[in-house]
Amino acid sequence: MNSQMVRIRGIDPLLFRDGRPFGAEIGSLSARTLSCPYPATVTGFVRTFLGNQKLIDWNQREDILRVLAIAVYGPLLERNGEAVFHAPADALITSTRKEPSVFALRPWQDLPEHAGCDLPKHLVPLRVDTDEKPVKGYEYWDGASLMRWLESADGSGFAPPQPVGKMEVEQRTHVAIDDEKGVSAESLLYSVEYLSFERYRWGNNGSWERWALLARLESEEDLSLARGVGLLGGEKRLALLEPAEDSCWPACPETLRRALSQSRRVRMFLATPAIFEGGWKPGWLNGKLEGSPPCASGVQLRLIGAAVKRREAVSGWSYRQDRQQPKPLRLLAPAGSVYFFEVLEGNPATLVEAWLRPVSDDEHDRRDGYGLVLWGIW
């Protein structure tokens, strides 16, 4: 199996539509962008880039199937050369004092007598012992802080991470053009948001902030590629794709490896959104919420609790010659969601081999990068 790391940078500010209506009707005159593209967007860009470099015939079914067989695991965000992840849903950052503090959400297994809930059978709620509202500005965590959080079983003594800002959003206002007159249409103004992958942060120690998207490719095919430019996202704007060093892909720290090998309780953190048959619930779990993830079939797990963010929806357009039509709407378990498991059988140390591997139900979704996971303890 051949493997290749790639890095994607926006030459132009890029647009990744969030799926909300965009048209001439009141209330839909703005095209909004996601803060991070969905895996299928990056996967399509990378596969098209590779196919064009290999000079395949896009009208030949055999060539298309070869390209579709390339697994594209990503995207992960990179800021100034360091990986950035969505904030874990089991961490509640509050400011009860002058300094922010982190409260860990964990399954409430010793429920008071006669207490109950309407969660699915065998699932317990997460215990919350504070009524403070979460502090804003922690939508993303740096990789080092997230690794420390995954090593912390109960979150005690955990120092809050430094806030990581999002990519800068540029909003541009345009006018609609009257096709018959060739001039601007009266009263038809609309706006479009774009993500800027590079900006200068002003201050006493002003510096450039550079963002990129990381992905790892796997295939039986030759994955050698040359640095080049392609069209990515809405409005077909320019992006640079280049080979990257293997060291930029986040690895499991040795301390976390040891912690996993000694724990019978593990956490599954979604680094990219996942697609499950049950919406939030993996399809590889049975009626008793027991099963093995596709990337670690030797470990039998039982789901105890889950901290899942609000669902997201993904769609798109199919450009296949025989099927040019809208893709069906599908619901995602968002990145940052956390699942709490007990290990029933197998060695939990083998989960390290499933580090940043996909756990979505369908094999095609896994090849598209949906459901990359990191593992921790609780």
pLDDT for the residue 48: 94
Q: Are 369 and 73 within 8 A, CB to CB?
A: yes
User: What is the token pair recorded at 255?
Assistant: 């301390």
Q: Phi/psi at 89 (nearest 5 deg)? A: -70, -15
Type of residue at 259: A
Question: Each residue of 233-261: pLDDT tens digit?
Answer: 988 899 999 999 999 999 999 999 999 99
pLDDT tier, 365 (very low <50, low <70, confident <90, very high otherwise): very high
Mean pLDDT of the chain: 90
Q: Is the pLDDT of residue 156 over 90?
A: no
pLDDT for the residue 7: 97
The residue with greater pLDDT, 216 or 164, is 216
- For residue 150, give the 3-state DSSP assignment: helix
pLDDT for the residue 114: 79
Question: Each residue of 134-151: pLDDT tens digit?
Answer: 888 899 999 999 999 999
pLDDT for the residue 11: 95
pLDDT for the residue 96: 67
**Alpha-helical segments (H) within 229-314:** 254-261
Q: Is the pLDDT of residue 178 over 90?
A: no
Query: pTM of the predicted model, to two decimals?
Result: 0.92
154-166 mean pLDDT: 87
